[in-house]
Amino acid sequence: MLQTVPEAIAPAPARASRLTMRRRKALTTAATYAALVVTSVIFVAPIAYMVIGSFKPSSEVLNGMAGFAPTNLSLDNYTQVLGRFDSEASGYFAGFYLTSLIVTGVIVIGGLVVNSMVAYALARLQWRGREAVLSAVVLLVILPFEAIAVPLFYLMNGFRNTLAVQFLPFIGSAFSIYLFYTFFISIPKEIQESARLDGASAWRTFVSIIVPMSRPVFASVTILTFLAGWSSFLFPVMMIDQPSVRPLPLAIAVFKGQPPTDWGQIFAFGVLLVIPVVVVFLAFQRWFIQSVASSAVKG
């Protein structure tokens, strides 16, 4: 039976080789962590700058590296942002927030229902024209919104300055359908066949079996759809000119253009704009990370 030669009595070349491998592994690990730290700083620094600047006077915000120093902090910028809107005819900050919440909520919830059912029909049901529809979905994934913005403007022109015009065109999403489809197609067919043998219909199988098993992809689609809907700017610029239905991204653009330009207040507005995105991500990050990890393993 072969035994491992103790390192103390191993030949000198073998000991040197093992020591070299350990050093290389340590250097590789250190380099990896250093790269991750640098990347994290690059991504976190702008957010930290915005958060710190939102609590500082405007004269100290755009002050280079000194802008990171947590000095002279107060809530004045936040109170002035709210008060500045409350005192003008341009609208109320709470109204902008409510508009974005309603529009984004309808896009997310409606999109989860519609896109998941379409994807399930493409992945598991057999019907004439299925392959053509799937090909169309794949082609639409690579089509940028800017390519259809003008035709969509003329199509929805009768609904200008309404909440509906901000969410109706975006409930159906080829990208979300494709994400659901790639996940549903990976679920073993035996599960569906067993449910069918037990007398479950296609709808019952989808609601009671497929949906509970698909939390990772639902979380991923929720986060991505919420981010896209919450930050939508181009179409509201084209369709909305009434403050009563103005979403937050459009409101901050108007806010920035109103004199006087106060960067402390603009940063505070930005923080208030980002908070819901962070909350949604934290709420669904567990399943989102699980979805990313499972995709990496499959790949």
- Give pLDDT, residue 11: 62
- Give pLDDT, residue 155: 92
CATH topology of domain 81-298: MetI-like fold (1.10.3720)
Mean pLDDT in runs of 10 for the chain (299 residues)?
51 67 84 92 90 88 78 85 59 83 96 95 88 91 90 91 93 94 90 84 88 91 94 92 89 81 88 92 80 54
Angle at 76 between CA 242 and CA 267, to 5 degrees: 60
Spell out the residues 6+ positions from residue 222 whose beta carbon is closer than 8 angstroms to its own: 108, 112, 280, 284
Spell out the domain ranges in the chain: 7-68, 81-298
- Give pLDDT, residue 292: 60
- Give pLDDT, residue 12: 61
- Give pLDDT, residue 10: 53
- Give pLDDT, residue 89: 42
- Burial class of residue 236 (count of CB atoms within 10 Å of its CB; 0-12, 13-18, 19+): buried
- Give pLDDT, residue 127: 85
